[in-house]
Structure 1
Amino acid sequence: MSETVSSVPGFTCGLDVTLRLIAGKWKPLILYFLLQQGPIRYGQLKRAVHGVSDKVLIQQLKELEADNVIKRTDYQEIPPRVDYALTPLGRSLAEALEPLCLWGSQNMAQVARIFAERATWCEGKAS
């Protein structure tokens, strides 16, 4: 008999499970680029995920690897060659995020306007 999510200690629902796996500003983007580009080397991933520091990217990659979402392959070569790829669990998670990406693309202009209005509103309150 399989357990339901609600019977697994520590999780309140399926969304809770998902959000805990992708918690962190950069993890969804990492998953997106791994889904789009397949196995990818660290430098390529760093260039794809604009604005992330090396420290944070390395930390988030280690967390995703520990959670069995990505696989790190070290080819034991000199110079060092390492790449990252999605595990089957990671692929299914990244595919589940695709509708969010589509929604963001379809609503980007409207959300940009909302954020701009909010920034103006927040500046007015600070004065």
Structure 2
Amino acid sequence: MERLECQSELIKVDGKIYPCPLSLVMDLIGGKWKAVILYYLKNGDKRYNELRKEMPTVTERTLSIQLKQLEEDGIVFRKVEGEKPPIKVTYGLTNFGKTFSTVLDTITLLGNTIVSERGEFINR
């Protein structure tokens, strides 16, 4: 397999400088929760509480911060319906966010392989 290389020594996107494209992508979806949020939004929009149920170990504060960062980066959209409580807020992937699906599928496949070889699957 051919190794892909960065086309220059540095890259600049949205005012930030990165040493390579991988560091750019990891800045956008890296960390413990961002890719997980994208994974659960991959098949359709969800309300905040639906995401919380899918990810019971994430704190509300962390989920809110990560959603806000993903929204600021144009990966996730936030849709508010209604003007008076109860308002309905849903989150979903933007067109840009949907471009991460292949990467998420590959990471999921790798994770399943690692669990099969070194761990176990646990049902709630």
The TM-score normalised by the length of structure 2 is: 0.79
CA contact (8 A) 2:48 2:91 kept: yes
The verdict on how the C-alpha distance between 1:54 and 1:5 changes in structure 2, with shifts beyond 3 A counting, is farther
Number of residue pairs the alignment of both structures matches: 109
Larger radius of gyration: 1
Mapped contact 1:24–1:60 kept (Cα < 8 A): no
Given that 1:65 and 1:72 are in contact with CA atoms closer than 8 Å, whether structure 2 keeps it comes out as yes
Identity of aligned residues (%): 32
**2:116 pairs with one of 109, 116, 122:** 109
Change (3 A) 1:14 1:86: same
Counterpart position of 1:32: 39
1:68 aligns with 2:74: yes
Q: Which has the higher strand share?
A: 2
**Shift, 1:6, TM fit:** 4.7
Within 1, Cα distance between the matches of 2:58 and 2:78?
19
The answer to whether the aligner puts 1:8 opposite 2:11 as a matched pair is yes
SS in 2 for 1:51: coil
Measured in 1, the distance between the counterparts of 2:105 and 2:94 equals 17
Contact kept, 8 Å, 2:78 with 2:92, in 1: the verdict is yes
Q: Give the RMSD, CA atoms, in angstroms.
A: 1.8
Q: Please show how residues 44-59 of structure 1 align to structure 2 within 5 Å.
A: 44-59=50-65
Segments ≥4 residues shifted beyond 6 Å: none
Tell me, yes or no, if the aligned pair for 2:71 and 2:77 is still in contact at 8 Å: yes
**SS of aligned partner of 1:24:** coil
5+ long unaligned stretches in structure 2: 1-6
Q: Identify the structure with the greater helix proportion.
A: 1
Contact 1:26–1:49 (CA<8 Å) still a contact in 2? no
Report deviation, 1:7: 4.7
Change (3 A) 1:11 1:55: same
